[in-house]
Amino acid sequence: MKNLAHFDIDIYKLANKQYKYQYQIDKSFFDNFENSLVKTGKLNAEVTFDKQENLITVIFDIKGEIELECDRSLEKFDYPISIHEKVLYQYGEEEQELSDEIIIITANTQKINVAQNIYEFIGLSVPMRKVHPRYAEEEDPLVDGEIIFSSSTAKDSEEKKDEKNDDNVDPRWNVLKNLKNLN
């Protein structure tokens, strides 16, 4: 995190008012995180700090493009992202993370590093299925494109199959079918 020291914001010296910070995110930023989903990109991050007596509201506006690899063709492509997130820092007895949006810090906290937040927000914007825009309109050959939900049981579906097959069955087999139903 030494390379990310310029993402430190000295909150101890800040007066109770609003501040804006600008950051350029590129390959050197992502190199600081092991096993990163994103290897490179060109993004602008605007971090708005609103310091109050017992609360710090931090708003992240991140816009730009990240480079992804298509799951289908393995081609690289630029994926546009636009992120608007908010994190609240509250003063408390001990440091802890209550949720993704609320973090408790102590009164002795000197600075807050926003690099991890920026990295996580970018990582969360990466789609599960990365498809090059050239293939986005095409139908995936592995997926039918149609999902059918049914509440019927397996027995119901077997009976429906039997009914469909009744139309094409030799009438002599119907007698045997009746024997099967007697059990």
What's the one-letter identity of residue 53? E
pLDDT band at 144 (very low <50, low <70, confident <90, very high): very low
* pLDDT at residue 132, rounded to an integer: 82
Q: Which of 18, 24, 89 is nearest to 50 (CA)?
A: 18
Q: What is the pLDDT of residues 15-44, one digit of tens each?
A: 899 999 999 999 999 999 888 889 999 999
What's the one-letter identity of residue 36? S
Q: What is the pLDDT of residues 36-95, one digit of tens each?
A: 889 999 999 999 999 998 899 999 999 999 999 988 888 999 999 999 999 999 988 888
Strands (E), the chain: 8-10, 18-25, 41-51, 55-69, 76-91, 96-97, 102-105, 111-113
Taken as a whole, the chain contains a residue count of 183
C-beta separation of 47 from 21 below 8 A: yes
**141 or 89, which is more confident:** 89
Mean pLDDT of 159-179: 67
Enumerate residues 6+ apart whose C-beta is below 8 A from 29: 4, 115, 118, 119
* pLDDT at residue 81, rounded to an integer: 94
* pLDDT at residue 14, rounded to an integer: 85
Please name the residue ranges forming H helices in the chain.
Answer: 27-30, 115-124, 154-166, 172-182
Map tokens 């690289």 to a residue: 76
Q: Which letter, b or e, does each residue of 63-88 get, where b requires 16 or more Cβ atoms within 10 Å of its Cβ? A: ebebebebebeeeebebebebebebe
* pLDDT at residue 98, rounded to an integer: 87
* pLDDT at residue 139, rounded to an integer: 57
Mean pLDDT of 125-153: 66
Does pTM top 0.75 for this prediction? Answer: no
By three-state DSSP, how is residue 14 classified?
coil
* pLDDT at residue 35, rounded to an integer: 86
The Cα 55–Cα 53 span in angstroms is: 6
Comparing 26-40, 132-146, 168-182, the range with the smallest average pLDDT is 132-146
Comparing 2-11, 35-44, 103-112, the range with the smallest average pLDDT is 2-11
Q: Which of 22, 74, 60, 29 is nearest to 44 (CA)?
A: 22
